[in-house]
Amino acid sequence: MPCLLLCCVFLTLPVFVRADECKDVSVKNEAISVDQPFAFNCVPPPETSGEVNITWYKDSNKIPITKNIQSRIHQYQSWILFLPLTEEDAGIYQCVIKNINSCLRIHVNLTAFRKYWCVTSRNALLNLSDEYIQTLHFGKDDGLTCHLHFPDSFVLELITWYKDCKEIKDERFYSRGIKLLVNNVSLEDGGKYACEARLTHAGKVHRVLNSINVDITEKIEYGDRVPKITYPRNNSIEVQLGSTLIVDCNITDVRDNTNLRCWKVNNTLVDNYYGESQRIREGLESCVPLEQYNKYTVNITFLEVKMEDYGRPFVCHAGVSAAYIVLKLPAPDFRAYLTGGFIVLTSVAVSIMCMYNIFKIDIVLWYRSAFLPTGTKDDGKRYDAYVLYPKPQNGSQRHDMDMLVLKILPDVLERQCGYKLFIFGRDEVPGQAVASVIDENIKLCRRLIIILVPESLGTGLLKNESEEQITVYNALIQDGMKVILIELEGIKDYTDMPESMKYIRQKHGVIQWSGNVTEESQSAKTKFWKKVRYHMPPTRYPPSFSTSTM
């Protein structure tokens, strides 16, 4: 037991010693009416730095106020709370602020009294020191503030305003947060007001009643007492239609100035103007205490900017000061338009080109069949095409070639399309010399059709009987005669080809024969024959005259 006692003494000793070392910084006098909650915040002086421990004591009692939030009097963070205050609570309270190397002490002299509110027989008692004095400016829109100095955890549930003991019902008065806004202040608005607030904290409801003595002043305060609006500055804001916009109104004002700070449109509070939709509304006022003055911020939120909002001044008021913003549609971005237009035009052009390339043959053939006159033009030529082809040695290939050249080609191009062909081996006058046949007749033709088979590269066309022919189509190329190259089977390797053939292939392209060489009659409307007809001289299809002479 003696040991335990010793321990206790040892533990409490430093507290005594340190408490005595503490420096008294200030004494605050608070006169509060009983039966309502009271809260006092112990704010460390600005010079204290680092982590601080704040402890509340009553009188010279060395035992700290409890932190149990169920207790009627308790410490909550740096606050001391009386929920509610009673007459016995009067006394001196000490707030001890400790950090690593200093200890400061603030004294609060708390006086508790009973207030007789709205009891006419005791009028004298109405002049109580807890009354707040506020001023309204005559002829202006102004406001009163209900002083509710409690920790943030206290939630304001309801506030009711009274004037001369009667609840205020006038339309010129409008309750907003802890404020009572007064439109067009008149001389009769002076007098005794009260605000009654219901706050909840830790699940309990508390009722606060403050009386406010209101004076009406006609003079406008100049100099430092005029609130300054640092933003907006009568500027315009570019904003897209339909977007959300939040604009701060930043105001600097002397401390405890109850100047009304609000946003208005068409001289009406935005909250009233957009009452039902709440599309545009004012935010709650926030306050940052600075050394010389307070900085207040009230924002305005446009949930969705509409056309009607443009060009309209939204005015931020702070007492006698006012400044507005005007919304503006963003200037159209010409570069974007140009780029967009260019992209559209380019893609249209590209698509037209693609379409043309895909349907080129059909378009040209359709045009010919629709608009070309019948008959051939007189250009001194007798034939539409000269057909040049190899004579393979191999039996089946020879048969295929004969089928194609002597049967299918005339069937499609001559009978169905009305062209006139010169086919060597069919149309020459017997007994004529080969070279002179070619030479004479080729000049009478508008096109040269050359048929290639892979074997023709090595043997037929180019080796044997075709020395003259090579000379011929060399000449043709110089004449600028159009050549239609038809490959019977895909030829992959052109390296062995004479230069003239490579040139023709490169310049005129090649048409690939598809399908078998059979006896069945073919239609001029198949893809292959359309390609051939496309390269043939323009003529009307189907020919208007009948050439069914087979």
Ligand X SMILES: *[C@@H]1O[C@H](CO)[C@@H](O)[C@H](O)[C@H]1NC(C)=O
Q: Does 109 bind ligand X (CB under 6 A)?
A: yes
For position 236 contacting ligand X by CB under 6 A, the verdict is: no
Tell whether residue 187 is a contact of ligand X (CB under 6 A). Answer: no
For residues 233 and 335, which CB has a smaller minimum distance to ligand X in the complex?
A: 233
- Angle of helix 467-479 relative to helix 434-442, nearest 10 degrees, comes to 10
Going through 114-226 in order, the beta strands assigned E by DSSP cover 132-137, 142-145, 155-163, 166-167, 173-176, 179-182, 191-201, 204-217
Q: Which residues contact 33 (CB under 8 A, 6 or more apart)?
A: 85, 112, 113, 114, 115, 128, 130, 209
152 counts as binding ligand X under rule CB under 6 A: no
- Neighbouring residues of 140: CB distance < 8 A, sequence distance ≥ 6: 184, 185, 319, 320
Instruction: Enter the tokens of residue 12.
Output: 């409490």
Residue 190 binds to ligand X (criterion: CB under 6 A): no
Beta carbon nearer to ligand X, 286 or 526: 286
Binding ligand X (rule: CB under 6 A), the pick from 246, 358, 363, 372 is 246
Q: How far is the CB of 324 from ligand X (least distance, A)?
A: 6
- Amino acid at position 77, single letter: Q
Which of 508, 463, 466, 518 shows the shortest CA–CA distance to 487? Answer: 508
Q: Looking at 100, 336, 370, 429, which residue binds ligand X (CB under 6 A)?
A: 100
Angstrom CA distances, 243 to 2, 104, 271, 279, 307, stand at 76, 52, 19, 12, 11
235 binds ligand X (CB under 6 A): no
Q: Taking the mean position of all CA atoms in its chain, how far away is CA 85?
A: 54
Spell out the residues 6+ positions from residue 411 whose beta carbon is closer than 8 angstroms to its own.
521, 522, 550
Q: Does 184 bind ligand X (CB under 6 A)?
A: yes
Candidates 194-202, 318-326, 423-431, 447-455; binding stretch for ligand X (CB under 6 A): 318-326
Least distance in Å: CB of 183 to ligand X? 7
Q: Write the interaction track for ligand X spanning residues 24-43; mark x where CB under 6 A is met and - where it is not.
A: -----x--------------
Residue 467 is among the residues annotated as catalytic for this protein: yes
* Given 218, 467, 468, 489, the catalytic residue: 467
Nearer to ligand X, 197 or 247 (CB): 247
How many CA atoms does the CB half-sphere of 353 hold within 13 Å? 6
Q: Which is nearer to ligand X, 180 or 323 (CB)?
A: 323
Q: Does 155 bind ligand X (CB under 6 A)?
A: no
- Tell me if 296 sits within 8 A of 285, measured CB to CB: yes
x/- letters, 328..367, toward ligand X (CB under 6 A): ----------------------------------------
Residues belonging to the active site: 467
Q: Which residues bind ligand X (CB under 6 A)?
A: 29, 51, 53, 92, 98-100, 109, 111, 127, 129, 184, 186, 230-231, 233-234, 246, 248, 250, 266-267, 283-284, 297, 299, 322-324
